[in-house]
Amino acid sequence: MINKETIEDNETAAQALYQHGYYISCFLLIHSLVESLLRAFLTKTKRESFNDLIVAYRQYLQREGQQNLTFVDELTKFNQRRNRVVHELWEKGYTDTNSKLEPACSAAFSMYGLFIEWLETFDPETTDFGFEYE
């Protein structure tokens, strides 16, 4: 179950990690927050993969008559980037991977905030779970 205090704690931790230059941890934490946001919005609580959540989100938008699926594409790219980060950790190690991740981490923060605002257009209670990152 999604817990407001946990969401707030993770958002605060992500900001602190970013400010201290721990971009890998920050990026992965934002990925986790986006996944939690999708789970809350779609009311999915099982062990669906991130890709499963994206598919469910696409289906939701299509049912709502949305033609522009920009966030579906962004979420797909975001998840692919997460997979590349993990792969680069195996190949190049922490220091090299972390040093190149600041722009992606910064963009992830922006995407997260915009996604919250977008989802609120469908369900104004989205922020009741604690998703309020600005």
- 1: confidence class by pLDDT, cuts 50, 70, 90: low
CA distance 111 to 101: 15
Residue 32 tokens, joined: 């986790």
Checking if the pLDDT of 17 tops 90, the result is yes
Q: Is residue 18 part of a domain?
A: yes
Mean confidence (pLDDT) of the chain:
91
Q: Domain range holding 27? A: 4-129
Mean pLDDT along residues 26-42? 93
Q: Is residue 57 part of a domain?
A: yes
Q: Is residue 134 part of a domain?
A: no
Q: Are 37 and 116 in contact (CB under 8 A)?
A: yes
Checking if the pLDDT of 132 tops 90, the result is no
Q: Is residue 64 part of a domain?
A: yes
Checking if the pLDDT of 134 tops 90, the result is no
Mean pLDDT along residues 49-54? 94
Closest to 35 measured CA to CA, from 70, 101, 3, 79: 79
Neighbours of 83 (CB within 10 A): 12
Q: Are 18 and 105 in contact (CB under 8 A)?
A: yes
Q: Is residue 39 part of a domain?
A: yes
Mean pLDDT along residues 4-23? 93
Checking if the pLDDT of 123 tops 90, the result is no
> How many separate domains does the chain show?
1
Checking if the pLDDT of 133 tops 70, the result is no
pTM: 0.91
